Chains A and B, each alone.
Chain A
């Protein structure tokens, strides 16, 4: 695959392919020296127009473990602050000989616009409210790991995954919904209508505002981050009411199905959507998600840069 920009472009075959390679990468990561020469001589540039230390470090770790050279272009120190356009930035950095851009931007669609201006591969590390495909892939990786499932085109069939919170403004939710349903899961969205997309019918997923009613048959409860900035937009009355209706607390955690897992893309808003410490949950995948991130991003970079076989 030339680019990894959205789950839709990746398709179910692409998802499965990457999840399989991620298993190999996880094995590499368990070695005493977690490094292979797959991408020697290739340069991967992180182009982060929006701060995200966690995602950037995860990608850069992944690139280095595959022996790629990495460069970081962060806006605060760049000529973008001197008025350089997106196009000029991409063309300039491209001219240095770049194999792949890892890009994050607050505007939906930037990875598609960039593809007009460079021959390099583009990996989307989050565009606006639109997509965050590597997050969805690492979420799938965490789930199949937790449930002991092999990655196949229908590997999540039989699982009910409940995504709770601000779906409207969430690129994580958009990518997850598409990835989970592509792999056969039953996906449910929980939240007030103000935090749902205007028309979610094409996803074919159930939408409800009754969090409690979803708990007993959810295999995965996926908590989204509730941004405090949303309070200015009259989307919910106040954070307290949001927490009461849609926060995960000890009472709700106790009502979850046996063996069900809790996930969160981070960073958590404690006291808002997470009213309980993840360590007190019966099964939390929050730290597994972070670990999966490196393996999955190694698989993604390997996929787009067509490196040599991973040394076994």
Chain B
């Protein structure tokens, strides 16, 4: 089965500018077999038109909640994979806070297999750092490593105990694994609903202070220094967090970081109408934090754009604000928000969506690869100038909790090729 992607501009990790070379990409089986001058005479079983579009390596999302097993009313691995494919992602790292969580081989095997069955992108299970994400005892790192897990986190919870985190870094680092931290000192965020500041003071809602994130960022930078093991910072949301990571990187420490589109596009004022759609953890913060995240993305302090895609069934987001679960959809809107809101070269946006997260998740052998003969055919074709209006009714996710309903954005995924097969054609999933 061969596939020709015709007439797009190629932007990959070897690109030196935003123009890209206009070329035709011929795929056969699960590999790219040839990159030809545009308009070459070549025969293929299927042709995808990429005129006016960018052809890039497939996107990699370090941070998605697929809810299966346990919360299938909000999302399944299949519906989440479809949302991912429509967002241009060819690999997603599934967070471990399922029921049961990813702390045993049987669960991570199940998640990976369900991803294969859906066949829309690679579903990469993360592993828990602690058993049950309870912060008490270490998860079986070697057992999970045997099952192919390389990226570990208790996401949703930060590892509170500094000694336990030290041990985890020492033990897992030796196995070549990466630990990712949800930075939140829980004693400072008990009952918190939104960012602590003037807005929460006015709205009478318990605040989630920036300090609760920053203390743990600081602690884990120091634990990284002590142990030499890599630390990835999930969903950074504050200015000082970005500054600390910048300094740590300058010191040569093996730290990496991600930011979510909602944290660089929305502020705490979005909660003024008390709509739980805008409740997320860590919370939406201030214009100064947004500016800092954008600077961090632009200068590479923040390596990756990761969505923290967090589906919740409608009835859960109709609970009173303090009881509603935090989280918002992200997979199908990430590219557009990045292109609309970030004043960054196109190549850098694609880097933050593709090869940089691929490297952090230990997927660089098959995702985020250069577009060249012999490479795996995991590709995204997107129109960087197409404008469209986000409509929650048109999303592939099983849930509807996008904070961007009605927002007009620029940049849209047209085709996604995963494992050599077109899983999204002209914006529609093929399965």
- Could you tell me which A residues sit within 8 Å of B by CB distance? 85-87, 105, 107-110, 112-113, 127-131, 171, 174, 197-202
Min C-beta distance of B191 to chain A, whole Å: 10
Supply 10 further A-B pairs (C-beta < 8 A) apart from A109-B320, A201-B198. A86-B320, A105-B320, A107-B323, A108-B321, A109-B274, A129-B205, A130-B204, A131-B204, A197-B202, A199-B197
Q: Which 10 residue pairs spanning A and B have beta carbons closest together?
A: A109-B274, A130-B204, A107-B320, A129-B204, A197-B201, A112-B274, A199-B198, A108-B204, A109-B321, A107-B322
- Bound-state Cα–Cα, A86 to B316, Å: 11
Contact with A along B31-58 (1 / 0, CB 8 A): 0000000000000000000000000000
- Bound-state Cα–Cα, A87 to B209, Å: 31
- Bound-state Cα–Cα, A8 to B302, Å: 39
Contact with A along B266-286 (1 / 0, CB 8 A): 000000011110000000000
Q: A109-B274, A112-B274, A113-B274 are in contact. Are A202 and B202 (CB under 8 A)?
A: yes
Residues of A within 8 A of B273 (CB): 112
Contact of B321 among A87, A107, A197, A199 (CB under 8 A): A107
**Which residue of A108, A129, A174, A202 has the most chain B CB atoms within 10 A of its CB atom?**
A108
Residues of B within 8 A of A199 (CB): 196-198, 201
Residues of A within 8 A of B193 (CB): 108
**Which residue of B203, B205, B207 has the most chain A CB atoms within 10 A of its CB atom?**
B203
Is B200 on the interface with A (CB-CB < 8 A)?
yes
Residues of A within 8 A of B203 (CB): 108-109, 130
Is B117 on the interface with A (CB-CB < 8 A)?
no
- Bound-state Cα–Cα, A197 to B196, Å: 9
- Bound-state Cα–Cα, A198 to B283, Å: 16
Q: Is the CB of A174 within 8 A of B204?
A: yes
Q: Is the CB of A171 within 8 A of B204?
A: yes
Q: A110-B320, A112-B274, A198-B197 are in contact. Are A174 and B202 (CB under 8 A)?
A: yes
Is B318 on the interface with A (CB-CB < 8 A)?
yes
Residues of B within 8 A of A105 (CB): 320
**Can you name the residue of chain B whose Cβ is closest to the Cβ of A110?**
B320
Main secondary structure of the interface of B (DSSP, over half): loop
Q: Is the CB of A108 within 8 A of B318?
A: no
Give the total number of A-B pairs whose CB atoms are below 8 A apart: 68
Min C-beta distance of B71 to chain A, whole Å: 18
**Which residue of B197, B201, B273 has the most chain A CB atoms within 10 A of its CB atom?**
B201
Is B319 on the interface with A (CB-CB < 8 A)?
yes
**Can you name the residue of chain B whose Cβ is closest to the Cβ of A49?**
B320
Residues of B within 8 A of A112 (CB): 273-275
Residues of A within 8 A of B201 (CB): 197-200, 202
Is B431 on the interface with A (CB-CB < 8 A)?
no
9 contacts between A and B (CB under 8 A): A85-B319, A86-B318, A110-B274, A113-B274, A129-B204, A197-B200, A199-B196, A199-B201, A202-B202
**Can you name the residue of chain B whose Cβ is closest to the Cβ of A5?**
B274
Residues of B within 8 A of A202 (CB): 198, 201-202
Residues of A within 8 A of B323 (CB): 107
Contact of B322 among A128, A197, A200 (CB under 8 A): A128
Min C-beta distance of B321 to chain A, whole Å: 5
Min C-beta distance of B199 to chain A, whole Å: 8
- Bound-state Cα–Cα, A140 to B416, Å: 63
Min C-beta distance of B206 to chain A, whole Å: 8
Residues of A within 8 A of B321 (CB): 107-109, 113
Q: Is the CB of B315 within 8 A of A85?
A: yes
Q: Is the CB of A128 within 8 A of B198?
A: no
- Bound-state Cα–Cα, A312 to B190, Å: 54
- Bound-state Cα–Cα, A87 to B323, Å: 14
**Can you name the residue of chain A whose Cβ is closest to the Cβ of B316?**
A85
- Bound-state Cα–Cα, A86 to B197, Å: 28
